Amino acid sequence: MDSLEILLQQLQAIAQSGKHYTKDVFDMERYEQLEDVAKVITAKYTGANEQQLDIFFDSDNGYVTPKVDVRAVTFNSEGKILLVNEKLSDTWSIPGGWADIGYSAGEIAIKETHEEAGIHVTPKRLIAVRDIQKHDYAKKNLSYIYRHIIECIPDDNKLTDIDNSETDEARYFTLAEALELKLSLNRNIPEDLELAFESHKSDIWETIFD
């Protein structure tokens, strides 16, 4: 992510936090003006429409913090990694998604794997916490994101047919096979897959974080 995108996210956070905490009517006007300016610049930079901008700028109340994304890395008994095919983009990714309110990170890993791949898993350990702005993920995102990569153990190696709005296939791959796929580079990059295999082969693993 380039420096302008980070600056825009910082502007949004300053405006949103300032509007929440200020008690002065004149300061409130200034923070609202700052937000309006940030919206204009963000729209020109990202191509976001008015509705997307409103959702982004109004999504957090109070002190603005990063959003949390969880990716559930699962290996079968043959040491192959589970990936799912994204319907809209026809690309492959590690199952996962936003952390929902009311669920722990481990529970999100279980939930997303079941929804996207149709299998039940048990979370094993936290492989890494990634500040995605510091890595080469493809899609620009209005939100500042921390990605949690969690290794899981499948309750059953057998994959079943899946039927949901996001994915249409789930398969296991070797690292070499996975790196040859058309990956969803906003959800996972080759470095994530290599890290996952490295963790899986290690009896003792120290969580990596930026």
CATH of the domain at 124: 3.90.79.10
End-of-domain residue from the set 16, 32, 58: 58
Structure confidence at residue 63 (pLDDT): 66
Q: How confident is the model at residue 101 (pLDDT cuts 50, 70, 90)?
A: confident
Do 25 and 110 fall within a single domain? no
Q: Mean pLDDT across the stretch 184-197?
A: 97
At 136, is the secondary structure helix, strand, or coil?
Answer: coil
Q: How far, in Å, are 10, 13, 133 from residue 5 at the CA level?
A: 9, 13, 9
The residue ranking higher by pLDDT, 163 or 25, is: 25
Q: What is the pLDDT of residues 127-186, one digit of tens each?
A: 999 999 899 998 656 678 999 999 999 998 788 778 788 999 999 999 999 999 999 999
Do 132 and 194 fall within a single domain? yes
At 88, is the secondary structure helix, strand, or coil?
Answer: coil
User: For the chain, where are the alpha helices, taking DSSP H only?
Assistant: 3-21, 25-46, 50-58, 105-117, 175-179, 190-200
Structure confidence at residue 1 (pLDDT): 47
End-of-domain residue from the set 58, 76, 93: 58
pTM: 0.74
What's 149's DSSP letter? E
Torsion region of 30: left, alpha or beta (phi above 0 gives left; psi -120 to 50 gives alpha)? alpha
Number of domains in the chain: 2
Do 160 and 104 fall within a single domain? yes
Structure confidence at residue 174 (pLDDT): 98
What is the residue range of 15's domain?
3-58
Do 14 and 103 fall within a single domain? no
Q: Mean pLDDT across the stretch 19-41?
A: 84
Do 91 and 164 fall within a single domain? yes
Do 135 and 196 fall within a single domain? yes
Do 44 and 74 fall within a single domain? no
Do 10 and 109 fall within a single domain? no
Structure confidence at residue 72 (pLDDT): 98
The residue ranking higher by pLDDT, 195 or 12, is: 195
Do 10 and 86 fall within a single domain? no
pLDDT reading at 56 higher than 70: no
pLDDT reading at 28 higher than 70: yes
User: Mean pLDDT of all residues in the chain?
Assistant: 88
Do 23 and 112 fall within a single domain? no
pLDDT reading at 80 higher than 80: yes
pLDDT reading at 82 higher than 80: yes
Closest CA to 87 of 180, 165, 178: 165
Structure confidence at residue 165 (pLDDT): 82
Do 109 and 160 fall within a single domain? yes
User: For 141-203, where are the alpha helices, taking DSSP H only?
Assistant: 175-179, 190-200
Do 38 and 139 fall within a single domain? no
- Six token digits for residue 81: 């990694």
Helix, strand, coil percent content, the chain, rounded in steps of 5: 40, 25, 35
Separation of alpha carbons 93 and 83, rounded Å: 5
Q: Mean pLDDT across the stretch 111-132?
A: 96
pLDDT-wise least confident of 12-21, 71-80, 148-157, 181-190: 12-21
Separation of alpha carbons 73 and 96, rounded Å: 9
Residue with tokens 């905490």: 21
Closest CA to 13 of 59, 68, 69, 50: 59
